[in-house]
């Protein structure tokens, strides 16, 4: 059985209750980090997940609030008391290799692995990793933005939207998944282009027939509204408001 841990349910705007985006997925044979906004490395510690045990870093896009802790993770993997030994795979959308090359130019030997092998790739076709099948589709945010569908050996499935506006790709990616972690950045009536509101997230949930919705990527203004109630205008299933360090079994 797989478990999803919310490391950060917020955005790049500082919040005392919500960290920047980050999700940890623990399956039978793999530990996956999906996005790593500022503070994710510490949140892993709070969630009792050893960053040296991560097998895969999976990025939805390269906005700072989703990727800021990539460099700290690589830095810590090299200079801790016990440097990383396990191979590490790091994956993003189109242009990710170029982005990573720019990081290497800035930080050079500080993040260059010596005790382990780091593989950086751009996702294209379906990826089979350990006990996971990972599919992706472009999202309505940046040209390089990708949402992910992760299927497990037992037939269960997880969808992750990353940042996106409403789009058919998200609906098809999330079709019949057991859990959809979907952004719900701003309350109804305060929509921003490139992001979803709760009612739009609910519409995606309804059209995709997903079993459960996890509403995340919440700007501070969301705490002044009943986000779940707004979502339920369209979605009849279980809608969960994400909180930092929340743990959800994918069942």
Here the tokens at position 173 are 């990616």
pLDDT of residue 107: 97
Dist CA 148 CA 161 (whole Å):
7
pLDDT of residue 130: 95
List the pLDDT tens digit at each of the 251 positions of the chain: 899 999 999 999 999 999 999 999 999 999 999 999 999 999 999 999 999 999 999 999 999 999 999 999 999 999 988 899 999 999 999 999 999 999 999 999 999 999 999 999 999 889 999 999 999 999 999 999 999 999 999 999 999 999 999 999 999 999 999 999 999 999 999 999 999 999 999 999 999 999 999 999 999 999 999 999 999 999 999 999 999 999 999 98
Can you say whether the dihedral through the CA atoms of 235, 204, 153, 29 is positive or negative? negative
Which domains, ranges and CATH numbers included, belong to the chain? 2-250 (3.60.15.10)
pLDDT of residue 193: 97
Here the tokens at position 31 are 């530990």
pLDDT of residue 251: 86
pLDDT of residue 141: 98
Average per-residue pLDDT in the chain?
97
pLDDT of residue 229: 98
Write out pLDDT tens, residues 174-218: 999 999 999 999 999 999 999 999 999 999 999 999 999 999 999
Q: Per-residue b/e over 190-203, b at no fewer than 16 CB within 10 Å?
A: ebeeebbbbbbbbb
Write out pLDDT tens, residues 75-93: 999 998 889 999 999 999 9
SS3 content of the chain, % helix, strand, coil (to 5): 25, 30, 45
Here the tokens at position 231 are 């979502």
Concatenated DSSP letters of 171-234:
HHHTTT-SEEEEE--S-TT---TTS--HHHHHHHHHHHT-SEEEEE---GGGGGS-HHHHHTTT
Q: What order do you get walking across the sheet with 247-250 strand by strand?
A: 118-122, 88-92, 56-58, 31-36, 22-26, 2-8, 247-250
Question: Smallest Cα–Cα separation from 33: which of 60, 13, 14?
Answer: 60
Q: 2 exposed, middle or buried (CB, 10 Å; 0-12, 13-18, 19+)?
A: buried
pLDDT of residue 124: 85
Question: Smallest Cα–Cα separation from 215: which of 182, 173, 245?
Answer: 182
């Amino acid at each position: 059985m797989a478990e999803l841990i919310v490391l950060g349910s917020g955005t790049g705007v500082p919040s005392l209750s919500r960290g920047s985006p980050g999700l940890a997925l623990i399956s039978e044979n793999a530990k996956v980090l999906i996005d790593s906004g500022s503070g994710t490395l510490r949140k892993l510690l709070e969630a009792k997940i050893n960053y040296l045990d991560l097998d895969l870093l999976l990025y939805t896009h390269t906005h700072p609030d989703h990727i800021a802790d990539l460099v700290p993770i690589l830095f810590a993997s090299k200079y801790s008391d016990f440097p990383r030994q396990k191979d590490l795979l790091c994956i993003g959308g189109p242009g990710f290799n170029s982005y990573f090359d720019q990081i290497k130019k800035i930080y050079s030997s500080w993040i260059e692995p010596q005790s382990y092998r780091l593989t950086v790739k751009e996702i294209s076709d379906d990826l089979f990793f350990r006990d996971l099948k990972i599919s992706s589709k472009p999202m309505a945010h940046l040209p390089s933005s990708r949402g992910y569908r992760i299927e497990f050996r037992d037939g269960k499935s997880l969808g992750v939207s990353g940042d996106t506006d409403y789009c058919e790709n998200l609906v098809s990616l999330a079709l019949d998944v057991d859990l959809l972690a979907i952004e719900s950045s701003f309350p109804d009536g305060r929509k921003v282009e490139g992001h979803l509101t709760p009612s739009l997230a609910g519409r995606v949930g309804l059209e995709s027939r997903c079993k459960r919705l996890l509403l995340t990527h919440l700007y501070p203004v969301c705490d002044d509204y009943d986000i779940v109630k707004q979502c339920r205008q369209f979605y009849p299933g279980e809608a969960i408001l994400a909180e930092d360090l929340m743990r959800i079994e994918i069942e």
